[in-house]
Amino acid sequence: MSNEIEIGHGKRARRVYSFDEIGVVPSRRTRDPELVSTSWSLDAYQFEIPVLGAPMDSVMSPATAIELGKLGGLGVLNLEGLWTRYADPQPLLDELASLDNSKQAVQRMREIYAEPIKSELITERIAEIRAAGVTVAGSLSPHRTAEHYETVVKAGVDLFVIRGNTVSAEHVAVEGKEPLNLKKFIYELDVPVIVGGAATYRSALHLMRTGAAAVLVGFGGGASSTTRATLGISQPMATAIADVAGARSDYLDESGGRYVHVIADGGLGTSGEVVKAIACGADAVMLGSLLARAAEAPGGGWHWGQEAHHDSLLRGQRVAVEQVAPLSEILNGPSQIADGTANLIGALRTALATTGYSDLKEFQRVGIVHTAK
């Protein structure tokens, strides 16, 4: 049965689903939460919880990346953010937190982020995280990767993240400008690469064929993103994850058994949406606004991404967030509020236990229903 609907005589559209339109269905079995595992692994690296901290200056500093690593997750540092442009960015973060006027904040952010990225600071930040004994992950955007990847790899990063709104394996560039050849680049690297975003079956399959260890799913769906409003581009996350999970299954057969992890990135504002992301096929989630609410978050009550200070076309904005609890409480509780923004892992454990599944991989087989929005 076709899932397309007619928009008009000249256009048909595929029916897709957001997290608000689906629900997880309990099975005939339940189990104690103590018997549930939330661990997962990526290449040779083991993690107790399926949570990555988004590489955004409002979310991850070297200190919060270390804290998240000690709590069992993976902090990803933005290697073209304030921490690699300034030896001490804290005064600038404090200044940005004091600006309520949005236009004034945009102008000041553009000025602050005009400072060049410094290779020695990339090395220092990676060394600082490594010295804490946690897995080290750093992120660059596709257009900065060729310039800085040698410094990043030499500094000793464990996992390399190439993250943009949309990352493709087939980028067409203007004459004289050489695009990043992902397949050649990933093949020549000695570290596992996480790449994205992708939101369709075909784009994800192409990224998997480059040799990526994991694919980030989603674009334009985060709390600070305005891609849908500015560009008209969007893909509801439930469908996007399910499509990319389908590509993972087909690539597993095509490659003779190579498993590429699927990481949901964006549009995850509650623990219930984290649960639904994994139910749709994600192996882990990358969180931004939820972790920006932590008392330790460097944004100081504000949350933004790189799109919020673009030179010409803003595709994101700085949004206010309430810093409600320490990072440990947001992840592991006990929660003091019932809105799905605290004790994320406790909620995930309870969801697995309530539906009778013992681990994340099993939970990807849980039943899902379409609910009225």
pLDDT digits (tens, 9 = 90+) for 55-111: 999 999 999 999 999 999 999 999 999 999 999 999 999 999 999 878 888 899 999
Q: How many domains does the chain have?
A: 1
- Asked if the structure places residue 358 within a domain, the reply is yes
Q: Is residue 180 part of a domain?
A: yes
Residue 9 belongs to a domain: no
Q: Is residue 245 assigned to a domain?
A: yes
- Res. 226 pLDDT band, cuts 50 70 90: low
User: What is the residue range of 29's domain?
Assistant: 22-370
What's the CATH code of the domain at 54?
3.20.20.70
Greater model confidence, 27 or 272: 272
**pLDDT at residue 172 in the model:** 37
Across the chain, mean pLDDT equals 90
Please say if the pLDDT value at position 269 is more than 70. Answer: yes
Looking at the domain assignment, is residue 166 inside a domain?
Answer: yes
**Can you read off the two tokens belonging to residue 1?**
């049965």
Judge whether 98 lies within some domain: yes
Residue 1 has pLDDT above 90, yes or no: no
Residue 171 has pLDDT above 60, yes or no: no
Q: Cβ distance 72 to 47 under 8 Å?
A: yes
In angstroms, what CA-CA distances link 322 with 22, 234, 297, 301, 319? 27, 26, 11, 6, 10
Distance from chain centroid for Cα 213: 14
When pLDDT is cut at 50, 70 and 90, the band that residue 182 belongs to is confident
**% of the chain residues with pLDDT over 70:** 90
What pLDDT is stored for residue 173 in this prediction? 44
pLDDT band at 216 (very low <50, low <70, confident <90, very high): very high
Say if 290 falls within a structural domain: yes
In a domain, 281, yes or no: yes
DSSP alpha helices (H): ranges in 219-343?
A: 227-231, 237-254, 271-279, 289-292, 327-332
Distance CA 50, CA 74 (A): 8
